[in-house]
Amino acid sequence: MNKSIFTAPKSLDELKTALSKKTHNTYIVAGGTDLAVGMNKNKIYDFSLIDITKIKELKKIEYKDDLIEIGSCVRMVDLEDNEIINKYVPSLSKAASCIGSTQIRNLATIGGNIANAAQCADTVAVLFAFDAEVEIINSIGEIRKELVYDVIQGIGQTTLKDDEVIIKVIVKGQEANEYSSFSKIGARKTVTISKINACIKLALNDNKITDSRVYIGSIGVKAVRSLLIENALNNKVFNEELKEKILELGSKQVLDSIPKRKSKDYKKIAVKGILDDIFCDIEKRRNLDE
């Protein structure tokens, strides 16, 4: 029988050491909300764990040189309530607030949401739209940076090597003329896994959209960038008429992305719901600004 080792490094240095001793059945745990479920399901009874939540710097949110640094062990509930995130990446607060139950949000972390690489991961669509990067450490203490978009390769697949751990997420916050929002639809109103989700980030000059990023989740192995919608948004006036047009393009995007999946019949309509939510939310935020 394998010996089970449970370690909880208190610093990146200790983490490095722990990673150097990692075996094939050692798991990195932060919130554990996916890991524990997976271990039960897959009947994994002999295992070792490295708990990274005792490393203080992984739990910080900091605003540094125009960039927001989010420690990988920052929990969903922290993202939901944090002033910096609320101000500079409001769609991330929104996405975090929609994940699972209160109990889940009290444990689940942003690093875990990325590393788990679920098709429907809610914070991921936002991180894509913001071109967020992650910092990754390995067992010899090297730190590398990679776009979240590139880290996630497919469902449950990432570029993370066996001895690597995400330690930080770096996001450039939105400017005063930028707006972003997130919405999702699941099987019910709350405590639900996304059937489809999306994040839109817009730059507005007066009423005119000068730049946009649109990502739709759960219509591909990872959130899909919709150039179709971005092109329709750019250089247009942000109004009700544009919204109606975007809703239709949302349906088209779904059909383009999953032409053969049975779920397309539903998602092509449901996508209008989330796009409508996002438009209304951005409209509301603009009115608050004025």
- Which residues form the interface with other proteins (CB under 8 A)? 1, 40, 43, 45, 185, 187-193, 195, 263, 265-266, 269-270, 272-274, 276
State the Cα–Cα distance between residues 191 and 59, nearest whole angstrom. 24
Return the residue matching tokens 């930080």.
Answer: 168
Strands 61-64 and 67-71, how do they pair? antiparallel
Q: What is the DSSP string of 140-186?
A: T--EEEEEHHHHEEETTEES--TT-EEEEEEEEPP-TTEEEEEEEE-
In the complex, the smallest distance separating the C-beta of residue 239 from other proteins, rounded to whole angstroms, is: 15
Q: In DSSP terms, which residues pair with 196 in a beta bridge?
A: 185
> For the chain, what is the radius of gyration of the CA atoms?
19
| Nearest distance, CB of residue 272 and other proteins, angstroms | 4
Nearer to other proteins, 168 or 267 (CB): 267
| C-alpha span between 280 and 274 (Å, rounded) | 10
Residue nearer to other proteins on the CB measure, 197 or 257: 197
Cβ proximity to other proteins: between 236 and 243 the closer is 243
CA atoms of 25 and 28, how far apart (whole Å): 10
Using the minimum distance from each CB to other proteins, give the nearer residue, 40 or 177.
40
Q: Which is nearer to other proteins, 19 or 200 (CB)?
A: 200
Question: Whole-number minimum distance, CB 31 to other proteins, in Å?
Answer: 15
Look up residue 204 and give its two tokens: 């507005």
Using an 8 Å Cβ cutoff, are 61 and 93 in contact? no
Smallest gap, in angstroms, from Cβ of residue 187 to other proteins?
A: 5
- Looking at residue 174, the DSSP 8-state letter turns out to be P
Q: Work out the number of other CB atoms within 10 angstroms of the CB of residue 238.
A: 20
CB of 163 to other proteins, least distance (A): 28
Give the closest residue to 272 by CA, choosing from 189, 216, 190, 231.
216
Q: Which is nearer to other proteins, 100 or 220 (CB)?
A: 100
Q: Minimum distance from CB of 231 to other proteins (Å)?
A: 23
